[in-house]
Chain A
Amino acid sequence: MAQTSTPANYDSFQVALDQALAGLKMNRADLKLRDDYVEKDSYRMAQVDRFMSEPLDLLTKAAELLDADKTPGLIYPVFREYPYGMAVKPRVYENEPAKSLFAEDYKGNKIDSATLERLAFFMRRAIRFRGDPIFNEINRVRYDSVLTGYAILLEENAEDEFKSVEQLDSIAHYEEDWTKKLVELTRTVDPEVAAIRCLEFLDVFSDSLINTPGEYSFEAEYVEFDTRFGKICIGDSTPQYYYGNLFIVIDYGGDDTYNIIRADNRNMTFIVDYAGNDIYNMPNERFPAFGLGMNAIVDMAGDDIYQGGSWNLGAGFFGGGILWDKKGNDRYYGDTFTMGAGCFGYGILRDDAGNDTYEAALYSQGFGFTQGIGILQDLCGNDRYFAGGKYKDILRYADHYISLSQGFGYGIRPYISGGLGYLIDKSGNDTYESDIFGQGCSYWWSTGILADGEGNDKYLSYQYAQGCGTHMTAGCIYDGSGNDLYSGKGLMQGVGHDRSVAICYDACGDDNYVASDLSQGAGSANGIGIQADLSGNDSYIVKSANNTRGFGDARRDYGSIGIFIDVTGKDSYAGGNGADSTWWSGSNWGIGLDK
């Protein structure tokens, strides 16, 4: 499974980086951060520590993510170093006939053998998954507490902006108490178990039967029957309305509507829809209906609409979530923890084709929370990503919204390390819009990567974005090619703050970068920030000359590292340090190179 992907123009970057470090009286060994500035908690993911000690691995990881679709098994490389990596190993199922799996629930004979095998694919995994001890009554209360507790930590309230200082303080302390209790609870239960079991469902990406839409012989009108896990429905090529506690749905065509109602948690829902312009309405509950459970939707064709609310659309919360849309111009709508989000599990949203729209409020579009991986992977099309607009950033601004999305890793400071959030867009002219925290960014011992392969892209955000790390963490934005625009206010375009590392890497194209302050290769509070543009005729605009374009400030009586690199091209600069074909060093620990 070993695979090494090389970032585009990586050799010239490394040469320039070594020159920049030499200019700072430094070398590669200085480009490292520790994994123990605070006492390590038990949730730390090995990859996060690796990115801290080997920051350039962020770039190889980004390149690897962009190549993930070339590998049989598609997304497996992402899990190669996941703490549960060993569980990816396929386990043999007993060779029980598919029909016998449903013998108690279905006595008819309308279902053809291929459809039965499709049903069996999910049923076999579901039976094994639900047979795990985490589902017995002894463990139930503890697992419920952990699940609910983590959901509360991620829950935001749009009314917070109207609360008094006492109310906000008491909420903060209440959440802190919750966090401490959760730390204790997760010492006595193994919250990773559900995620490990759910890894077996990743086979959906490679299963030949699931992925051969032309070879079916189901010609019955409609079949529906109940099982202990919920309702099984099989639809023909006419439009259907699926409603209720859906367990497995196989639909062979027609413009369908899904209204999925799932109570409590530990649910499993699997849908394979082979054709049609479909509408999916996911469970809209305060707490995750698929928490400690699993859901997978595979939609083969059509222009589809997904209305996810929170905890859905490729969201794994103490479990797994897969949403795979293979064709069509699709629209995805959600609120919190959605569109490729993972917490003690994995969430994958993959869209193979079409011009797609992704709209969410918070913790979305490649979001990794504690012990989780969240991946949004879009292979082609001109796509639009929006995150924010609902929950105000009451800490910093009266008129901006928190996003924490679009390749974002998040942990609870100072108690719980975060996860891995990856947004991968392989091609197309794409637009990314976030507000506060987004676009290859992370917070507190976690990692966020936004990797875009090709196309003329626009990256818009206000603060903490476009390759930014805040508080002992790692972030990276990687753009392979195209004439791109990066725009925002500050703490963006390669900024590491408070012993964090962040890289903004654009391999080629004529690009434009706009920022106000503390941006474009800046280190703050002993962090490391790198901006690198490896080719093309680029333009750079900043407002502040004091803390941009190769800037490192002094904190704790010593320096941060800020490196700005532009290799080749005729570049223009407005505001701040820098000019075409020059080197400069405006601060003790900051340097800029335009070669």
Chain B
Amino acid sequence: MAPIPPGGAAQTGELALINNRIEKLAAASIAAFIVFGFEYSISQTNQTTIAEGQYAKIVDSLWIRAASGDIKFKDQVEPSKKSIIEMGTQAIPRMLTKLNTRDAREMQTAIDIFKGIGEPAIDPLSKLVNDNDPFTRRTSIRCLEEIKNPRAIDPLLTVVNHDDFRTRAAAISALGSIGDSRAGDAVMKALIDNNELVATAAAVACGKIKTGINIQLLIGALMHPYYGVRYSAARALASIGEPAVQPLISHLDSFPESKGAEFVILALGQIGSSKAAPVLEKAIKSEQWTIRAAAAEAMGLYKDNKFHKALNNALKMETQPLVKAKIIKALTVSGSGNGS
């Protein structure tokens, strides 16, 4: 019995059909390559003599190579991407049709190409951020993220409450990468999204936007049940820097061994403010080994050797192997000693 082929029409001789179809498709592609091939396209893309429709064929031919993952064609990947990028606005209409791909390699290729094309692609990409096709929607958002132009903020803000959490996460991530404070409210709201991936994207975005970000909200995120949020919030606080120091110290003073205290300590270490020295020196004497480990790690992040004495004293007393390792590493990295 013959299978129903992809086109749906009844056909007989299934094996012959399959083989013929593959060969025909291959032959058609080869023909396209011969006419609108690699060398040709590179040399001709800037000439106005090429008809509009032919750009699509050139893009298609280059696209096969640009998105190829096969090891033997790897040398053709970057030159093909470059050729499409050099086509600029003429490549955009055809490239937009590639955004519905579900193939991860093709997605990344499209993102690389639109990043290269840059500003002229913003408007056409912005029209797709609400597309019904989830892959078109999310990949267009990722393209805008890479272009990093504030003109994309308004269209991106239209999808931060999208039903699809993956779209929300992509939009928040893109807004963070653009880094404009106009997106601050949306990003902070996303920090308490019930989906942990959206919240993680929001924490990351907070660290990139910085201006106007509510520090207490980020400190609260250090206790989030998902590690992605906790780590990202700590890094965001570190990125905000000095304005976050006192709130972090106050929090640690009030709740020295609370859930999330390790991340408060980590953030303080990443900031590297001398104001935090007393709380870190206190933390390295904590009864909780995880707090001591965090303190040792934080001390190791300081550029000077102000914790030389505290670390050495701690090392003499320490028995927990991870804390010991972190103290030794801190002493070595900060130049406070050889850690022996």
Interface residue ranges, A against B (CB under 8 Å): 22-26, 29-30, 34, 37-39, 140-142, 144-149, 152, 161, 163-171, 173-174, 177-178, 180-181, 185, 264, 286, 394-398, 413-415, 526, 556-559, 561, 581-585, 588-589, 591, 593
Q: Determine which residue in B22, B70, B200 has the highest number of CB atoms from chain A within 10 A of its CB, and name it.
A: B70
Residues of A within 8 A of B116 (CB): none
A557 to B174, CA, bound (A): 12
Scoring B residues 123 to 153 as 1 if CB is less than 8 Å from chain A, else 0, what string do you get? Answer: 0000000000010000000000000000000
- For residue B5, CB closer than 8 A to chain A, the reply is yes
Chain B residues with CB below 8 A from A173, complex form: 25
Instruction: Report if A584-B325 is in contact (Cβ < 8 Å); known contacts: A25-B262, A148-B14, A173-B25.
Output: yes
**Is A169 in contact with B64, judged by CB distance below 8 angstroms?**
yes
**A415 lies within 8 A of B231 (CB):** no
Q: How far is the CA of A22 from the CA of B68 in the complex (A)?
A: 42
Residue of B nearest to A23 (CB): B322
**Quick one: closest B residue to A157, CB to CB?**
B22
Cα distance A167–B21 when bound, in Å?
11
CB distance from B22 to the nearest CB of A (A): 6
Tally B residues with Cβ within 8 Å of A. 57
Question: In the complex, which of the residues A171, A395, A558, A589 has the most CB atoms of chain B within 10 Å of its own CB atom?
Answer: A558
Given A558-B228, A583-B322: A167 in contact with B4 (beta carbons within 8 A): no
Instruction: Point out the residue from B3, B102, B289, B321 that lies within 8 Å of A144, measured CB to CB.
Output: B3
Which residues on A sit within 8 Å (CB–CB) of B68?
A: 165, 168-169
Shortest beta-carbon distance, A179 to chain B, in Å? Answer: 9
Chain B residues, CB < 8 A from A168: 68, 70
Asked if B69 is at the interface (CB within 8 A of a chain A CB), the reply is: yes
Cα distance A201–B29 when bound, in Å? 48
Interface pair A414/B71, CB less than 8 Å apart: no
In contact, B4 and A181 (Cβ under 8 angstroms) = yes
For this complex, 5 residue pairs linking A to B, each with C-beta atoms less than 8 Å apart, are A148-B14, A152-B18, A166-B32, A167-B26, A558-B204
Cβ distance B139 to chain A, nearest Cβ, rounded Å: 12
Q: Which chain B residue lies CB-closest to A24?
A: B227
Q: Is the CB of A149 within 8 A of B3?
A: yes
Query: Which residues 175-234 of B sit at the A interface, judged by CB distance below 8 A?
Result: 197, 200-201, 204, 225-228, 230-232
Query: A559: which of B5, B22, B228, B322 is its contact (CB, 8 Å)?
Result: B228
Contact digits for B314-340, partner A, Cβ 8 Å, 1 yes 0 no: 000000011011100000000000000
Instruction: Tell me if B2 is interfacial: C-beta within 8 Å of chain A.
Output: yes
Q: Is the CB of B226 within 8 A of A144?
A: no
On whether the beta carbons of B226 and A30 are closer than 8 Å, the reply is: yes
A172 CB, min distance to chain B CBs, angstroms: 8
Q: Is B286 an interface residue (CB 8 A)?
A: no
Contact status A167-B104, CB under 8 Å: no
B326 with A585: CB separation less than 8 A:
yes
CA separation between A581 and B321, bound complex, in Å?
8
Q: B64 near A166 (CB under 8 angstroms)?
A: yes
Question: Is A25 a contact partner of B4 (Cβ separation < 8 A)?
Answer: no
Point out which of B6, B21, B22 has the most chain A C-beta atoms below 10 A from its C-beta: B6
Question: Which 4 pairs across A and B sit closest by C-beta, in order of nearness?
Answer: A166-B29, A170-B25, A145-B3, A177-B6
A-contacting residues, B225-278, CB 8 Å: 225-228, 230-232, 262-263, 266
Establish whether residues B73 and A165, one from each chain, have CB atoms under 8 Å apart when the complex forms. yes
Q: How far is the CA of A177 from the CA of B25 in the complex (A)?
A: 12
Contact in complex: B225, A29 (CB < 8 Å): yes
